Amino acid sequence: MSGANDDNAPRLRAYLLGLTPQARRRLRGELERGLVRGDGFDPAAAVGELCRIADDADGAAARLFLLPLEPFLIDDDSSRRHPGRLARASLPALWAWICCDLVPNDADDFTRGATEALEAGATTHAQFLTSDFQDHVAAALRAVFGDKDAARRRLLLRGIGTPRAEEEAATLRWALRGRDTLAALAARLPATIHHLPQNQIAACVALIENAARPRDVFLCALITVMHRLAAPWQIVRLAVHAAGSDIAARIAATPYGVAVDVLLADVEWQIAALTAALADWQQRSRRRADPVDRRHDTRPPRRDRHSGRQHARPPPGRARRRSGGGGAIGHCGLRPRPSTRGGLPSGS
């Protein structure tokens, strides 16, 4: 029975994460009222998941902890792969997993201590607590990824509940592990690099190499530079410099070949966004061209009383016209009323 619950929990969590925060709050209220009523429905599992993904990621302590992830966040669906990045929508799930599965006791102590420090205006102490907790989470992630039992590792990571949980947890690990060197790298870069001149490419590569300590932080360092480029495609120039050639095979053989994968993922994301925007525009255009929405007209076809033939009903709000008759009377579908007196109709 417990195995079934372990299998259903990630799917339930993924569904709840797809709801808006307002919808989650309303659902949680209804489920808690159901618990009080005791009407035969057991919503305890859903209430537990809602508590796990409560909007704590909007809290001050959570924001402070997640701050090193900012350069690596992307506003895309979490199901699409972005090397070295994670979806912004996954942050509540990651934070809930840290607090409930990875290091629950330490997370409670950090949240309480950091919140109290921030409320008291002790920003330096809050930052100290945050740094200590970030080190603790990075160490816990190292233990998770170092577990030789692959099944147990996958089971723990599946508790995050996102489509690419393992990749996002790895990004979290190295962003926390290299946050100091990555911050030093960002401090040496301009806020926006409009153009990357040829004579500065070697210096830029040197900055990345110095920040990539340990080496697993390399991708985070590369994305940190890419995040500052006004034209992100320029990151390929670093790969060409590292390979000493613009031949694809030689670029792919260097660590900088991953820059191409990062760019391709960005292009796919932009294409998907443009496709969705175009489909939405076409749908709105069709609605403007045909203001009468026939989809909601559920009336059966009109049946002629004499011939029994069926005729399609006119759209709602439009007058039905007869084909016979001329002038205004004919267009309105009316016929002159015959005189009730003998002889020819009046006016003849």
Mean pLDDT in order along the chain per 10 residues (348 residues): 53 67 67 57 56 56 92 90 92 89 91 89 93 96 91 87 91 95 94 90 94 93 94 93 92 93 91 91 83 56 58 54 48 52 49
State percent of the chain over pLDDT 70.
Answer: 67
d(CA 44, CA 126) in angstroms, rounded, equals 35
Angle between helices 123-145 and 104-119 (to 10 degrees): 160
Confidence (pLDDT) at 348 = 43
Q: Which long-range contacts (CB under 8 A, 24 or more apart) does 336-340 make?
A: none
Spatial contact of 290 and 315, defined as CB atoms under 8 Å apart: no
Using DSSP bridges, classify how beta strands 73-74 and 86-87 pair: parallel, antiparallel or unpaired.
Answer: parallel
Both tokens assigned to 121: 């205006």
The per-residue pLDDT for 338 is 57
CB 115 within 8 A of CB 61: yes
CA distance 44 to 48: 6
DSSP bridge pairs for 229: 193
pLDDT at 137: 96
